[in-house]
Structure 1
Amino acid sequence: MKLETLKPAQGSVRNNTRLGRGQGSGGGGTAKRGHKGAKSRSGYSQKRGFEGGQMPLQRRVPKFGFNNINRVAYKAINLDTIQALFDKTKESNITVAFLKEHGLVAKSDLVKILGRGELNAAVNVTVHAFSQSAIDAITKAGGSASVLGQEVQGAE
């Protein structure tokens, strides 16, 4: 390979079509826009979703449901996940920052611990919310469950 032999790949370079330059150019007369109608005029642009007068899909399909602006969405973490994390790290203090550090939650997530799985380790968990079954399992294993800023009591 030499510098003077370099050239574009076969078929990758095409000449521009010169529109409106007479009949011999192949694009004369109508400049390849067909005959008459809005699409042949300058400045034409179709509205988004326009389907030629047919009722557009966006209006044919019914609307349903709503988004509750007051909904608080929690990222769910189960006890089996916490047990696996403890087995891997041997860390007994589980916080939101610790979960974020290990890629289980994002920075802005609110975290709720749920009761699926078994917990054998005595861990101190501090997150935004707990299910009652999770609190029971954590306290039964000898750990503590505390909501950020306050202590949670297990069911006796």
Structure 2
Amino acid sequence: MKLNTLAPAPGSRKNKKRVGRGHGSGLGKTSGRGHKGARSRSGYSMAPGFEGGQMPLHRRLPKRGFTNVFKTVFDIISLSQLDTFESGAVVDKAALLEAGLVKGDKPVKVLANGRITKSITVDVDKVSKGAAELIAAAGGTVKE
């Protein structure tokens, strides 16, 4: 192989469309834009979602309910994740951040998913009732 023999793969390079170069080219006179109308003129831009007068998709689909912008979204922690901490440890947001279980931008809530066998102190924003009972049954305490 030499530099003078290098070539792109066949079919990978395509000549650009040259418009307005005579009617023999198939793109002469109106340059493939047709006669009159919006698309034939310069400066034309279609509104987003416009479907040529057909009812646009975003208006055909049903709209239901609403999104509460004030909703509190929690980082969820399960009891099985808390079981990875050593017995007697204080599990707060800082400890969870260090362990890589939460990102730190949302409040933390503990849910009763899985089992916990170690007695730990849990100090987070919110703990579900079932999770609090299971932590207490394992000998731990909950601070909210």
Which TM-score band (shorter chain)?
A: 0.7 to 0.9
How many residues of Structure 1 are paired with residues of Structure 2 in the alignment?
A: 143
Q: CA deviation at 1:65?
A: 1.0
Number of the residue aligned with 2:4: 4
Deviations 1:40-74 (A, max 9, x none): 22221111111221221212223221122332121
Higher relative contact order (CA 8 A, sep 6+): 2
Identify which of 133, 141, 144 aligns with 1:144: 141
Task: Provide the rounded CA distance (Å) in 1 between the counterparts of 2:7 and 2:72.
Answer: 60
Q: Which residues in structure 2 correspond to 1:103-114 (within 5 Å)?
A: 103-114=100-111
Instruction: Give ranges in structure 2 of 5+ residues lacking alignment.
Output: none
Identity of aligned residues (%): 48
Larger displacement relative to structure 2 (44-53 or 69-78): 69-78
Counterpart of 2:32? Answer: 32
Residues 126 and 36 of structure 1: CA distance in aligned 2, closer, same or farther (over 3 Å): same
Residue 115 in structure 1 maps to residue 140 in structure 2: no
More displaced 10-residue stretch of structure 1: 30-39 or 45-54: 30-39
| Aligned counterparts, 1:76-115, within 5 A | 76-83=76-83, 85-86=84-85, 90=86, 92-115=89-112
Q: TM-score, normalised by structure 1?
A: 0.79
- What is the alpha-carbon distance in structure 1 between the residues aligned to residue 28 and residue 8 of structure 2? 30
Runs of 4+ in 1 over 3 A off after TM superposition: none
